[in-house]
Structure 1
Amino acid sequence: MRANEIKDLIIKGDAAGTAWGVEEMLAAGLAVDDIIQGILVSAMNVVGERFREGQIFVPEMLIAARAMKAGLKILEPLILQAGRKYLGKVVIGTVKGDLHDIGKNLVGTMLQGAGWDVVDLGVDVAPEKFLKAVKEQKPAAIGLSALLSTTMGSMKTVLGLLEQEGLRSQVKVLVGGAPVSEKYATEIGADGYAPDAGTAVHVFARYAS
């Protein structure tokens, strides 16, 4: 199986085929990082671009991300053995009062594939929990997600707590979600905004260590 064939399987959302293809690539002697960057991440970049252009929608993105994750799972033991250097650590979570996780999970999966060490705090995450994670995990960046306009205010609270604790300059804060806009991100003092998972990966890449 060729690299382009595996990329097509990911784009189509064929998890079993992707896993089998990755195993074939390993058997053929292809390096782990080459598989990750040249096949998995490359395929998801195509998916992200198609999403931005309105050619596909969230369900198709999710299916593709699951396929990519199936391939990544085959590589995980080898990644650990090789002591692969991560781009950095990121903490993500859906803000307090919001139980939606589709977008957040998609961002987390794509960030993992891109080479980040991802700490997912889950949903309905209190501002204090984000603060604690920044203190304990010392991430390069945190990603705050919201799908409800009524929960967006929690993003501003997180930024305020980081400022109060003297940690704001030590971590980048990115925000995203359906009701969030670049204007709102600027208003609350966030470092970045992403309207979709594909863009989020590119924005987070600015903060790689």
Structure 2
Amino acid sequence: MKGEEMAENKYNELAAQAIMDADGDAVEEILDDAKADGITAVQLLQEGFAKGMEELGDAFAEGEVFLPELIMASEVMKIVTARVEEEVAAGGKVAEKKGTVVIGTVKEDVHDIGKSICVSMLKAAGFDVYDLGKQVELQDFVDKAIEVGADIIGSSALLTTTMEHQRTIEELVKEAGLKGKVKTMVGGAPVSQLWADQIGADGFSTDAMSCCKKAEELIAI
């Protein structure tokens, strides 16, 4: 077991660095080599590739890297999320169905890598996920939830100017008579538990792993 942990730690470090370097070829090689060693993309996602995105995001916030570098890394990250979803579709480690989630990045916001990582992790955890993408019209969250019988609506907002759209989603959920029937979750860089409480959201998460845990908690209520 110790050897397996050491191997996974090695790949996690390489994965994080590959994302920070926005090196798509390195990402492909790491995924292939890890698979040969019995380590899945799902395992490397949270503690490896996602950590690299997190570090890059912190560096961007500090002015140490610039937007083009962040965009390049986000594009490379799509290789990882695609591989994770391939594993999920193939059966992998997916558990029995836990619930249905409708998720998207709100309108006027084009940032979706964090949301995409959450989508991959939720699928791997056993949720049916309907990813609406980015710049999603607010009514679409509610309409899709009604269409598919969703248990949870998740919205991501990466800008302080788009956070208010999450409040509007809460209002639309109430108007549709879904409050209490469909749980709501919010996330994004400027979003906090305080904000979730203020607008009446049922849950808040800071990253993909906490997103899965919170979704499981809300389903159990």
> What does residue 96 of structure 1 align with?
107
Q: How far, CA to CA, are the matches of 1:163 and 1:191 in structure 2? A: 13
Moved more, 192-201 or 157-166: 192-201
Alignment of 1:1-209 (within 5 A): 4=5, 5=7, 8-9=10-11, 12-13=14-15, 14-19=27-32, 21-22=34-35, 25=38, 40-47=41-48, 56-58=55-57, 66-67=79-80, 69-70=82-83, 72-74=85-87, 76-78=89-91, 85-208=96-219
RMSD of the alignment, in Å?
3.3
Is contact 1:69-1:113 (8 Å) kept?
no
Is contact 2:157-2:191 (8 Å) kept?
yes
Q: CA deviation at 1:22?
A: 3.5
For CA contacts below 8 A with separation 6 or more, give which structure has more relative contact order.
Answer: 1
Letter in structure 1 aligned against 2:11: L
TM-score normalized by the length of structure 2: 0.69
Q: How far, CA to CA, are the matches of 1:11 and 1:111 in structure 2? A: 23
- Cα deviations by residue, 1:138-165 (Å, 9 ceiling, x for unpaired): 1221211111111111111111111111
Q: How far, CA to CA, are the matches of 2:167 and 2:133 in structure 1? A: 19
TM-score normalized by the length of structure 1: 0.73
> What does residue 23 of structure 2 align with?
none
Report how many aligned residue pairs link the two structures: 190
Q: CA deviation at 1:186?
A: 0.1
Q: How far, CA to CA, are the matches of 1:50 and 1:77 in structure 2? A: 25
> What does residue 66 of structure 2 align with?
none
Unmatched segments (≥5 aa) in structure 1: 26-34
Q: How far, CA to CA, are the matches of 2:35 and 2:130 in structure 1? A: 25
Is contact 2:170-2:200 (8 Å) kept?
yes
Q: CA deviation at 1:15?
A: 3.4
Q: CA deviation at 1:202?
A: 2.1
Is contact 1:147-1:178 (8 Å) kept?
yes
Q: CA deviation at 1:16?
A: 3.6
Q: How far, CA to CA, are the matches of 2:4 and 2:208 in structure 1? A: 23
Q: CA deviation at 1:116?
A: 2.1
Q: CA deviation at 1:185?
A: 0.6
Q: CA deviation at 1:50?
A: 5.8
Q: How far, CA to CA, are the matches of 2:140 and 2:81 in structure 1? A: 29
Is contact 2:85-2:120 (8 Å) kept?
no
Is contact 2:88-2:123 (8 Å) kept?
no
